[in-house]
Amino acid sequence: FYSVATTVHRNPLFSIISPDDISYFKTLLGERGVVQDALALDAANTDWMGKYRGSSKLLLQPKNTEEVSQILKYCNSRCLAVVPQGGNTGLVGGSVPVFDEVIINVGLMRNILSFDKVSGVLVCEAGCILENLISFLDDEGFIMPLDLGAKGSCQIGGNVSTNAGGLRLLRYGSLHGSVLGLEAVLANGTVLDMLGTLRKDNTGYDLKHLFIGSEGSLGIVTKVSILTPPKLSSVNIAFLACEDYTSCQKLLLEAKKKLGGILSAFEFLDSDAMSLVLKHLDGVRNPLPPSIHNFYILIETTGSNETFDKENLEAFLLHSVESGLVANGVLAQDINQASSFWHIREGLPEALMKAGAVYKYDLSLPLEKMYDLVEEMRVQIGPAAKVVAYGHLGDGNLHLNISAPAYDDNILAKIEPFVYEWTSKNRGSISAEHGLGLMKAAKIHYSKSPETVQVMASIKKLLDPNGILNPYKVLPSSLLSQN
């Protein structure tokens, strides 16, 4: 395992689980809700990348908000640290314990509570798996406003807690817009009912936003109300190749102008990313004729006029080829081809895992600068590792991945702090969508001013005075231990 935790020390104020604690939880949750089995604990202690690993001896599975409240109230009074865990697909070491924190997973809370077919407002428990919500809505003629490669495992509570962006943010906006309400339990067990379903509600501070993207550091999200758009009948996907990064940018601008209202995704990968997918994922092939291109772009349109939308995308494609912006391109002819295009893009995190060790950076950068960083990083690293770039180009979000045969501190020293300094200098964000977790808690100052971080720390201390909720994550520990 990667040795990131060596810079963090266990807070000695936290208690160690005792047999009395276990008895309490068994009385509260029953045997089923108290998991001590070694195999299950091993999985829950290890993150999706196999990079971060804790040593928790206890996983709790509450079935309702009241149980979450009782668990937290008890942990707070005993000063037992906890880590909220959803589908455990987070990529910044936020969802697993660092030391022996109690893991709380709301995965048994997976009921859909209501769905309004006119407004499209869905209310559900936080443990619902994203993919299940997507299929529920599909039957109702609606879609989720977010979609991501981890949909088969991630929970809506985890999505909200990370403010996940994903593949369609370009069209439907961030969860700060589509989450209309939520219910959350504070560290002392207080249940905050903010589960509104209204589009408009200006009655003072909109506290739900504190829980969107705070990565389980302020409370456990137990219910969510979310605005879902209707499913439109015509979806078209094109897979294109560009020879240089300037063309990719121009193509984005053209797509916004010409496809405007129907554009629903604009994703990119570079040639190293493409080679990696082709090498490591079974059954994947490049949909374009076999010549190497520097960049690949996936464009999706979603609209309601089948003939017009398709013609529109075809005309756009043709024009882009004629004007020299696009070197080659293909339009998906059926649903299988469409999903094979998506598989190339969505399969990248998995391909990187198969390739060995990976250092992940999830950056927001001004578009015109974005690829300069990738090129500078290649020079900086040399032949020791592969620099692979892809991401949500339409949102200015670069996924810079450095793939190496094994974790190596010499490689890391070439990447950091270079990547953070570069991002900060260009007024980017060191976390576009994955959050800070353990990986970047101490790096927050690269993207936030000291005054802002101080206010964040004050809010954390107000809502969680003992610091039991997801310790060592999001904010620098040094700041929270100060009085």
Contacting positions for ligand FAD (CB under 6 A)? 48, 83-91, 94-95, 106, 126, 148-150, 154-155, 157-159, 161-162, 164-167, 215-216, 220-221, 349, 433-434, 437, 470
Nearer to ligand FAD, 303 or 435 (CB): 435
149 binds ligand 2HG (CB under 6 A): yes
CA 481 – CA 185 distance, rounded (Å): 23
CA 8 – CA 262 distance, rounded (Å): 47
Burial 417-444 (b: 16+ CB within 10 A, else e): eebbebbbebebbbbbbbbbbbbbbbbb
Cis geometry, peptide bond prior to residue 349 (ω within 30 degrees of 0): no
Nearer to ligand 2HG, 338 or 480 (CB): 338
> Minimum distance between the CB of residue 424 and ligand 2HG, rounded to whole angstroms?
19
> Minimum distance between the CB of residue 155 and ligand FAD, rounded to whole angstroms?
4
User: Which residue in the block uniquely carries the two structure tokens 């030391």?
Assistant: 99
> Minimum distance between the CB of residue 348 and ligand 2HG, rounded to whole angstroms?
6
Own/partner long-range contacts of 305-308 (Cβ < 8 Å, ≥24 apart)? 305/234, 306/233, 306/234
401 binds ligand 2HG (CB under 6 A): yes
Nearer to ligand 2HG, 67 or 147 (CB): 147
Among 349, 394, 437, 476, binds ligand 2HG (CB under 6 A): 349
For residue 419, the one-letter residue type is V
For residue 241, the one-letter residue type is A
In 3D, which of 397, 298, 282 has the Cα closest to residue 351?
282
Q: What are phi and psi of 95, to 5 degrees?
A: -100, 0
356 binds ligand 2HG (CB under 6 A): no
Q: Do 265 and 298 meet the contact criterion of CB atoms below 8 Å apart? A: yes
CA 241 – CA 298 distance, rounded (Å): 9
Nearer to ligand FAD, 222 or 302 (CB): 222
- Residue 348 touches which of ligand FAD, ligand 2HG, none (Cβ within 5-8 Å per kind): ligand 2HG
360 binds ligand 2HG (CB under 6 A): yes
| Three-state DSSP state, 174 | coil
348 binds ligand 2HG (CB under 6 A): yes
- Residue 129 touches which of ligand 2HG, ligand FAD, none (Cβ within 5-8 Å per kind): none
Nearer to ligand FAD, 121 or 156 (CB): 156
DSSP states along 217-246: SS-EEEEEEEE-PBPPSEEEEEEEEESSHH
In 3D, which of 228, 131, 225, 249 has the Cα closest to residue 172?
228
> Minimum distance between the CB of residue 349 and ligand 2HG, rounded to whole angstroms?
4
> Minimum distance between the CB of residue 274 and ligand 2HG, rounded to whole angstroms?
14
> Minimum distance between the CB of residue 68 and ligand FAD, rounded to whole angstroms?
9
Q: What are phi and psi of 212, to 5 degrees?
A: -85, 110
Among 63, 110, 399, 414, binds ligand 2HG (CB under 6 A): 399
189 binds ligand 2HG (CB under 6 A): no
- Residue 41 touches which of ligand 2HG, ligand FAD, none (Cβ within 5-8 Å per kind): none
Tokens of 284: 């994947």
CA 59 – CA 33 distance, rounded (Å): 8
Beta strands at 263-270 and 234-242: parallel, antiparallel or unpaired: unpaired
> Minimum distance between the CB of residue 149 and ligand 2HG, rounded to whole angstroms?
5
> Minimum distance between the CB of residue 221 and ligand FAD, rounded to whole angstroms?
4
Nearer to ligand FAD, 106 or 262 (CB): 106
> Minimum distance between the CB of residue 18 and ligand FAD, rounded to whole angstroms?
24
Q: Which residues bind ligand 2HG (CB under 6 A)?
A: 149, 348-349, 360, 362, 399, 401
